[in-house]
């Protein structure tokens, strides 16, 4: 049984005893008010100890990244050759579109 239900039951019992003592017309207002305050305290404790709503967060599975190899130093001629080939590819694509 959840603990918040037990605290709610104790609060209800405190309120019932407080109401019962007022009907007996016993001249103890301190006893009645103390039971009513205890009932309110137990209701607050039950509310605070209730289980919280959980939200499910779905995290998409990340794709494994390939291990990176050691960086290789490129010479200046290789860098310029790579730039030239990419320029040629871009110009070829432009020509095909028109």
DSSP state of 24: T
Asked if 11 and 46 count as a contact pair (C-beta separation under 8 A), the reply is: yes
Asked if 2 and 51 count as a contact pair (C-beta separation under 8 A), the reply is: yes
Coil, helix or strand for 25? coil
Q: How much is the pTM? A: 0.50
At 40 the pLDDT is: 92
pLDDT for 97 beyond 80? no
At 70 the pLDDT is: 56
């Amino acid at each position: 049984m959840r603990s918040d239900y037990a605290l709610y039951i104790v609060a209800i019992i405190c309120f019932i005893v407080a109401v019962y003592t007022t009907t007996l017309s016993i001249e103890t207002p301190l006893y009645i008010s103390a039971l009513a305050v205890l009932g309110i305290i137990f209701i607050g404790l039950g509310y605070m100890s209730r289980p919280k709503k959980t939200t499910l967060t779905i995290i998409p599975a990340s794709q494994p990244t390939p291990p990176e190899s050691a960086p290789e130093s490129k010479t200046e001629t290789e860098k310029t050759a790579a730039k030239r080939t990419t320029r040629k590819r871009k110009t070829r694509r432009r020509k095909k579109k028109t």
